[in-house]
């Protein structure tokens, strides 16, 4: 836990999946309970997986971790990444975060190149905005490291190359990331992300 006080103006940055990695098919969440996704487009979620050719793969826990969902809350805030964890005995999908009814769900494909691309682009954006900032706090989802496979430290190395010597920073892996996706009229709208790279510049 980090306690900050005084006249500070934190700036938040979030990266997840490039637009080019979004699959054409999307769906509307029509029935859910918290993080349990039951139906999309009025049909059982298992049918959605089967239509994508993922029915068998969905039976294995975390087998689809490199195919995260992008969830659009349809409220003007940016899309949030969510990971499918496992199926319940009823063939409902347990996800790593709330799946509100009425949200639009997009399937994506995560890979090593996209992890490095989105992290690099976000760091470049941050460095253009450092001014008189004091510190940069970074968390990257462990699923991004898993996507990098045997090169699991590549993202950390990229951060070190780009940020090192420019300002103090701390970076760590996490299993779920809490970060505002938008600040409107001085109000931060927090979201719980998966498969995300989040940063706070202070």
The tens digit of pLDDT for each residue in 32-84 reads 999 999 999 999 999 988 888 888 878 776 767 778 889 999 988 889 999 98
- Rounded CA gap, 67 and 84, in Å? 8
CATH number of 11-16+111-201: 3.30.1330
The predicted pLDDT at position 56 comes to 81
The predicted pLDDT at position 24 comes to 78
The tens digit of pLDDT for each residue in 170-181 reads 999 998 899 988
pTM: 0.86
Above 90 in pLDDT, residue 169? yes
The predicted pLDDT at position 184 comes to 65
The tens digit of pLDDT for each residue in 92-109 reads 999 998 999 999 999 898
Residue spans of the domains in the chain: they are: 11-16+111-201, 19-108
Q: What is the DSSP string of the chain?
A: -----SS---EEEEE---GGGEEEEEEEEEEEETTEEEEETTEEHHHHHHHTT-TTGGGSTTTTTTS-EEEE-SSSSPPEEE-EEEE-TTSPEEESS---TT-EEEEE---HHHHHHHHHHHHHHHHTT-TT---EEEEEEHHHHHHHGGGTTHHHHHHHHHHTTTS-EEEEEESSEEEEEEEETTEEEEEEESS-EEEEE-
């Amino acid at each position: 836990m980090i306690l900050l006080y005084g006249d500070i103006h934190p700036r938040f940055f979030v990266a997840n999946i490039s637009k080019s990695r979004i699959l054409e098919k999307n769906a509307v969440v029509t029935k859910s309970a918290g993080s349990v996704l039951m139906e999309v487009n009025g049909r059982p979620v298992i049918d959605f997986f089967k239509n994508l050719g993922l029915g068998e793969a969905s039976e294995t826990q975390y087998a689809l971790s490199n195919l995260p969902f992008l969830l659009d809350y349809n409220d003007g805030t940016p899309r949030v990444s969510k990971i499918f964890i496992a199926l319940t005995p009823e063939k409902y999908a347990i996800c790593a975060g709330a799946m509100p009814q009425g949200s639009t769900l997009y399937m994506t494909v995560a890979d090593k190149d996209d992890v490095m691309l989105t992290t690099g682009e976000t760091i470049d954006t941050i460095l253009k905005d450092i001014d008189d900032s004091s510190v940069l706090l970074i968390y990257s989802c462990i699923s991004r490291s898993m996507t990098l496979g045997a090169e699991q430290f590549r993202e950390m190395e990229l951060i070190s190359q780009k940020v090192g010597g420019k300002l103090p920073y701390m970076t760590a892996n996490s299993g779920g990331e809490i970060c505002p996706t938008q600040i409107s009229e001085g109000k931060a709208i927090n979201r719980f992300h998966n498969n995300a790279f989040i940063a706070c510049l202070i």
